[in-house]
Amino acid sequence: MNAALSRNWKHAVVTGGAGFVGSHLCTALLAQGTSVTCVDDLSTGTPQNIAPLRGMPGFRFVEADVTEPFEVRRDVDLVLHFASPAAPADYLRLPLHTLDTGGLGTRNALAVARTHGARFVLASAAGVYGHPQQHPQSETCWGHVNPVGPRSMYDEAKRFGEAMTTAEAGTHGTDTGIVRLFNTYGPRMRSHDGRAVPTFVRQALAGEPVTVTGDGLQTRSLCHVDDTVRGVLAAAASDLRVPVNLGSPVEITMLELARLIVELTGSPSQVRFVERPPDDPAVRCPDITIARGKLQWEPEVALRDGLARTVGWFRTRL
């Protein structure tokens, strides 16, 4: 799908650009000739993610916390707001920072877009649906979120960010879009970030028991980061202002995922069942009708292939 590359961005700001998805966005934008200012406080992102980009023409790194107002002195025509702790290990460790980034950080990133007349895209997440009462989840689903639960800082930060983005567009006419990401995985994930794919891969490569929570029948819909990046850039190049789901419409149970990763690693690991965390969603699966119809986007990387690539990347680093 080439529509994502048809918009000739001159200069993009990527908040959270040293993070997992953010760094892949920086790489993709630079590859199509767009200058990139990467803004990150390195609270969860890492310098290693952007090390290959340092010294490249058009790339600039600014270490800054987006919860404080920030300026970009040269013209900007695209702002991708991806700053946020996204992994359980991070948002549980940084609950107030997570909420501040979703609120103040979104407002400050929107101010940059408004000042420059730039297109703004908010990275939201499937967490806005909480324990969904609709399955698969379409963008019309309002969600079912526990505001005082152990995941509330992340889910509510994303919901508030969407409300802030919507209010900004209505009040100031800022050109905004919202993407709801479903379980992106791939190279540059951190091995101890608490998410299923890096946890299972790390354990399997070490020959340790692969720890599946509960009975393992809870589902997720895994989308390779290359597909996610294509979807984000397609949304940025569009005129969509409504939220759009970006994820795989194919579900897999956590038990099936664990067994597949054990197979792909050739590991002797056995599955071990452990206690399931509270408020862990039972199902996750996006309805991608809008993405297919409006963006001509759908995932292209098959799960087995994407996981094999991810395992290969982790082998070189663990």
Among candidate residues 91, 129, 154, 185, the one labeled active-site is 154
What is the pLDDT at residue 7?
78
| Mean pLDDT (whole number) for 181-198 | 96
Count of CB atoms situated within 10 Å of the CB of 41: 20
- Cα distances (Å, whole numbers) of residue 161 to 58, 178, 217, 315: 29, 9, 31, 36
The Cβ-side half-sphere exposure at 173, using a 13 Å CA radius, reads: 2
Name the band, by pLDDT with cuts 50, 70 and 90, for residue 6.
low
Report if residue 156 sits inside a domain.
yes
Q: What is the pLDDT of residue 5?
A: 39
- Tell me: the pLDDT tens digits for 241-276? 999 999 999 999 999 999 999 999 999 999 999 999
Does residue 3 have a pLDDT over 60?
no
Indicate the SS3 state at residue 189.
Answer: coil
Evaluate whether residue 30 is within a structural domain: yes
**Residue written as token pair 């499937």:** 126
Q: Is residue 267, in this structure, part of any structural domain at all? A: no
- Average pLDDT across the chain, whole number: 95
- 95, part of any domain: yes
How many structural domains are present in the chain? Answer: 1
For 111, residues 6+ apart whose C-beta sits below 8 A from its C-beta are 69
Can you read off the two tokens belonging to residue 259? 């067994």
Rounded CA separation 246/244 (Å): 6
More confident residue, 60 or 279: 60
d(CA 239, CA 177): 8
Let me know if residue 278 belongs to a domain.
no
Is 91 assigned a catalytic role? no
CATH of residue 35: 3.40.50.720
Contact 36, 60 (CB under 8 A): yes
Predicted pLDDT at 318: 77
Structure-token pair, residue 171: 């009040």
pLDDT in tens, 120-136: 999 999 999 999 889 99
pLDDT given for residue 147 in this prediction: 95
Asked if the structure places residue 131 within a domain, the reply is yes
On whether residue 123 sits in a domain, the answer given is yes
CB of 275 closer than 8 Å to CB of 46: no
DSSP assigned state of 127: G
Asked if residue 199 belongs to a domain, the reply is: no
pLDDT of the residue at 149: 94
pLDDT digits (tens, 9 = 90+) for 9-45: 999 999 999 999 999 999 999 999 999 999 999 999 9
Give this prediction's pTM.
0.95
Average pLDDT over residues 277-290: 93
Give residue 97's domain range: 7-184+224-248+285-300
Per-residue CA distances from 214 to 94, 135, 250 (Å): 25, 21, 21
